[in-house]
């Protein structure tokens, strides 16, 4: 995503806890910084992309954090997947310091990030969104303004509900096909052309068959996202039995040592329960 910003002509100041990515971007003419505060001092728009809320809070409000150097009118874009409740809290804090904050999580694979074709869902003020739009367009193909603070984060959770349940459906479908003695690859081809077709089936189904668990999106990250979905659902008084089931299966998969694998590794848990292996 940073490389795409550089390729579109944006000047970039960068910071990361591990220095490898910083040095890689420095070779492409990005300015390496020693702290989030230094990034803020060198930037008009600040972007964070972090694993979870505690890291976002530390980078923004911790020692040598962004808010130590924020200027009036600066826009912070948090592209992490976090609770919308947290997004609203941080937006209020940023506003009290004179800045504006957008929650702008993304959907898409690692390939989409590399190609600049991510889907980006944004919450925050319309004025801040319009100011940040050229930056967002350098990283994504489908950019949606969803409403006030928290709306982007809420939308991402909706996405994760659909993704996780679809993932489970693909795993179970492949097990049925395999157990019935069908050509599993041909079943994927057939179902993909009809009403059962989906991104998960077309992209992750073939990987499950050949046991290619290289990550496009990691198991440990889906586990975190589903935890947030369940917490938010509880706050809204919603019962989501499908999400609860997938969350427990993903938790088991993570505990089996697959946290760094792609989410398509979920098929291994279903294979254990079915006592049947694909292929």
Distant-in-sequence contacts of 196-199, Cβ < 8 A, 24+ apart = 198/166, 198/170
Q: How far is CA 195 from the centre of its chain?
A: 26
Coil, strand, or helix at residue 140? strand
Indicate which residue of 97, 131, 141, 156 is catalytic: 156
d(CA 122, CA 103): 6
156 is catalytic: yes
> Helix/strand/coil (H, E, C) string of 67-133?
HHCCCCCCEEEECCCCCHHHHHHHHHHHHHCCCEEEECCEECCHHHHHHCCEEEEEECCHHHHHHHH
φ, ψ of residue 181 in degrees (nearest 5): 85, 15
d(CA 168, CA 104): 26
Of 160, 161, 86, nearest to 123 by C-alpha is 86
Of 132, 164, 174, 135, nearest to 267 by C-alpha is 174
CA atoms within 13 A on the CB side of 275: 0
Contact between 247 and 152 (Cβ < 8 Å): no
Contact between 90 and 101 (Cβ < 8 Å): yes
Please list the active-site residues: 156
């Amino acid at each position: 995503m940073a490389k795409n910003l550089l390729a579109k002509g944006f000047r970039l100041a960068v910071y990361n806890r591990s220095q490898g990515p910083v040095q890689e971007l420095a070779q492409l003419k990005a300015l390496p910084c020693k702290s989030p505060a230094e990034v803020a001092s060198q930037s008009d728009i600040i972007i964070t992309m972090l694993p979870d809320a505690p890291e976002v809070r530390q980078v923004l409000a911790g020692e040598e954090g962004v808010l130590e150097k924020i200027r009036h009118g600066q826009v912070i874009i948090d592209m992490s997947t976090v609770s919308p409740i947290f997004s609203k809290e941080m937006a209020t804090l940023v506003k009290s310091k004179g800045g504006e904050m957008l929650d702008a999580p993304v959907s898409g694979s690692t390939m989409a990030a590399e190609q600049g074709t991510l889907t980006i869902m944004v919450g925050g003020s319309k004025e801040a969104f319009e100011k940040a739009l050229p930056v967002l367009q350098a990283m994504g193909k489908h950019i949606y303004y969803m409403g006030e603070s928290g709306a982007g984060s809420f939308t991402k959770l909706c996405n994760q509900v659909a993704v996780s349940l679809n993932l489970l459906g693909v795993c179970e479908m492949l097990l049925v096909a395999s157990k019935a003695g069908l050509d599993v690859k041909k079943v994927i081809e057939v179902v993909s052309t009809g009403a059962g077709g989906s991104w998960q089936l077309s992209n992750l189904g073939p990987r499950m068959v050949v046991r290619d668990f290289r990550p496009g999106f990691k198991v440990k990250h889906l586990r975190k996202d589903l935890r947030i979905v369940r917490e938010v659902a509880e706050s809204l008084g919603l019962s989501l039995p499908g999400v609860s089931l997938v969350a427990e299966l993903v938790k088991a998969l993570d505990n089996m040592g697959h946290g760094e694998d792609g989410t398509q590794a979920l098929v291994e848990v279903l294979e254990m329960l079915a006592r049947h292996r694909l292929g």
